[in-house]
Structure 1
Amino acid sequence: MSYLVPVTGEGGRVSEVLARLARVDDPELDESVLDLGFVTGVGVDDAGAVDIGFRLPTYWCAANFAFLMADDMRREVASLPWVGRIRLELGDHMYAETINRAMASGQSFQEAFAEEADGNLEAVRHIFALKAFQRRQLAVLNHLSGAGHDEAAILSLSIGGLRSVDLRPEGARLVARYLARRSLVGPAGDADPAFVNERGDAVTPASFAAHRRDLRRVTVNVEFNGALCRGLLAARFGEALPEPAREPTLLDFVRGRAGGRPIPA
């Protein structure tokens, strides 16, 4: 886990809080706020009060993204039956006071920002959830191809069939993450096609090449933003860039160039 200061409180309850926070993703980057290093501390007292500190890569990170993450953290932790008061504190951000006050009082984004609120927050959430769906789909397609499955067999898979494919643990994890977003674009029963486009239409051999190019474009943009955010966070707080946890991304390119060493294969 990537929280930055020692947690306080009884270990079992702290672990429960951390498990809930691990389920909260940055809406743009589709990565856990814990893995990104955004959580700066967690405290739990005997009465079930929870304190959570978090930070963002820059002072001016978008208010809607900051609010979404704060609200998702609050909701996830509040779902634990023993939790009483939650105090969530965003630090060193241009809208920290507004967001922290909203979290304490249960205000919505519109209530907290009034005339400054720009657009529907749920619409923003949907746009980036769709990008996450596309990125996760490409990860599964690449894994299946790398495991030796041919294109026709992959595209013929139903959701139930995809679940039953014998994959390494990493492949099973990618499938589970992808299927968690599959219902975003249409029916997601076991008999429904595993691989569909953003409109919910099944991907066919004829459309596959263009579809995969679209997925790659989305993925490159997301990974570039992720690399940028990690770099900004590390520079802002004087920390080392994290080592890659999975397959090489643009972050590895940034690290390799900066360090004058080869990019990992």
Structure 2
Amino acid sequence: MQPASAFTSRVIELWRRLGEVNDPELDEPITEMGFVERAEVVGDGSVEVDFRLPTYWCSPNFAFLMLDGVRKALDQLSWSPAYRVKLHDHMFAEEVNRGIAAGKAFGEIFGELAEDLDLETLRETFGVKAFKRRQEAVLVGLRQHGLTDREILGMDLTALDAARFEPGEAAKQKPRYRAAYVERFPGRRQVDPVFLTCEGAPIPTLTLGAYLADLRAVRINMEFNGALCRGLKHTRYKELGVVDGEPTLVDFIMDRVPVPAATRI
């Protein structure tokens, strides 16, 4: 049996790692979205994670991207535990769980279902949306601090690191934008401009207002989808008292909620 202090530190590390996994479309941590219903370090040090999405018909590519992120997060745990990750109440739960457990790639898990899906293109699409959402929050925060558009667009990484915000969206997104910037433009120097388009082009000072309007539209769409996902999940499981082994609300929901033509807006 591991000491209580060691056990606590492992639990903290487990949830921290899981909190680094984002819903790929919403760019919000899966822990904050409520998708991780249970994450435990058991007596022998192994880890068990139960995962549940807002609807029975959530797109399988979203499910896989998140669960693959969970798997990678668990592989980074300092004590290298054995682990079990299980998706509940999803139309492809059996295929996903079997494939995830075997360490298979998306195409291997879904076979013909994934035949025409370019997973890397999908990741890039979501990466662009996340970059824009994070950037908008920081740009708006800097404007609210009284900086001119010219001053903002002239900032480099050193200036961004020195910027301080009151608690709020800008403060939350500043380190996340920095991480996205460094990942997207790995060859950039510390003194290079830190605010660029997703393609790496400079943002003209005179068009920053219009550029921000485009970013705002992306954020609003992501926030709407996030609220929708939270609401669907809460409605679906507000009466559910167990994770496994008992009847779920899938039949209840399927009887009362029509399946939409698209799983996400």
TM-score by structure 2 length? 0.82
1:172 positional shift: 4.3
Supply the distance in 2 between the matched residues of 1:166 and 1:114 (Cα, whole angstroms): 49
Q: 1:97-151: per-residue Cα shift (whole Å, max 9, x none)?
A: 1111111100000111111104121221111011000000000011111122221
Q: Answer yes or no: is 1:235 the counterpart of 2:232.
A: no
Kindly tell me: are residues 40 and 166 of structure 1, through their superposed partners in 2, closer, same or farther at Cα, counting changes over 3 Å? closer
1:21 positional shift: 0.2
**Aligned equivalent of 2:50, options 41, 49, 53:** 53
**Aligned equivalent of 1:29, options 26, 31, 44:** 26
1:185 positional shift: 4.1
In structure 1, the residue matched to 2:242 is none
The answer (yes or no) to whether the contact 1:185–1:199 under 8 Å persists in 2 is no
Task: Give the 3-state SS of the residue equivalent to 1:10 in structure 2.
Answer: helix
Task: Give the 3-state SS of the residue equivalent to 2:190 in structure 1.
Answer: coil
Q: Number of paired residues?
A: 231
Q: Runs in 1 of length 4+ with deviation above 6 angstroms?
A: none
Task: Give the 3-state SS of the residue equivalent to 1:200 in structure 2.
Answer: coil
Task: Give the 3-state SS of the residue equivalent to 2:29 in structure 1.
Answer: coil
Task: Give the 3-state SS of the residue equivalent to 1:40 in structure 2.
Answer: strand
Task: Give the 3-state SS of the residue equivalent to 1:48 in structure 2.
Answer: coil
Q: 1:140-185: per-residue Cα shift (whole Å, max 9, x none)?
A: 0111111222212111111222112243354444211111111354
In structure 2, the residue matched to 1:176 is 175
Task: Give the 3-state SS of the residue equivalent to 2:159 in structure 1.
Answer: helix
Give the letter aligned to residue 12 of structure 2. S
In structure 2, the residue matched to 1:164 is 162
RCO higher in structure (CA 8 A, sep ≥6)? 2
**Relative to structure 2, which stretch is displaced further, 145-154 or 95-104?**
145-154
Supply the distance in 1 between the matched residues of 2:121 and 2:183 (Cα, whole angstroms): 13
Supply the distance in 1 between the matched residues of 2:184 and 2:21 (Cα, whole angstroms): 21
Instruction: Please list every run of 5 or more consecutive structure 1 residues that lacks an aligned counterpart in the other structure.
Output: 1-8, 240-265
Supply the distance in 2 between the matched residues of 1:213 and 1:185 (Cα, whole angstroms): 22
Give the letter aligned to residue 137 of structure 2. A
Give the letter aligned to residue 175 of structure 2. A
Supply the distance in 2 between the matched residues of 1:185 and 1:11 (Cα, whole angstroms): 35
The answer (yes or no) to whether the contact 1:160–1:191 under 8 Å persists in 2 is yes
Q: Answer yes or no: is 1:200 the counterpart of 2:197.
A: no
**Relative to structure 2, which stretch is displaced further, 181-190 or 51-60?**
181-190
The answer (yes or no) to whether the contact 1:182–1:188 under 8 Å persists in 2 is no
In structure 2, the residue matched to 1:154 is 152
**Relative to structure 2, which stretch is displaced further, 219-228 or 203-212?**
203-212
Instruction: Please list every run of 5 or more consecutive structure 2 residues that lacks an aligned counterpart in the other structure.
Output: 1-5, 240-265
Q: Answer yes or no: is 1:191 the counterpart of 2:188.
A: no
The answer (yes or no) to whether the contact 1:38–1:56 under 8 Å persists in 2 is yes
**Aligned equivalent of 2:110, options 113, 116, 121:** 113
In structure 1, the residue matched to 2:246 is none
1:81 positional shift: 3.1
Identical aligned residues as a percent: 42
Q: CA RMSD in A?
A: 1.7
1:85 positional shift: 1.6
The answer (yes or no) to whether the contact 1:58–1:233 under 8 Å persists in 2 is yes
Task: Give the 3-state SS of the residue equivalent to 2:22 in structure 1.
Answer: coil
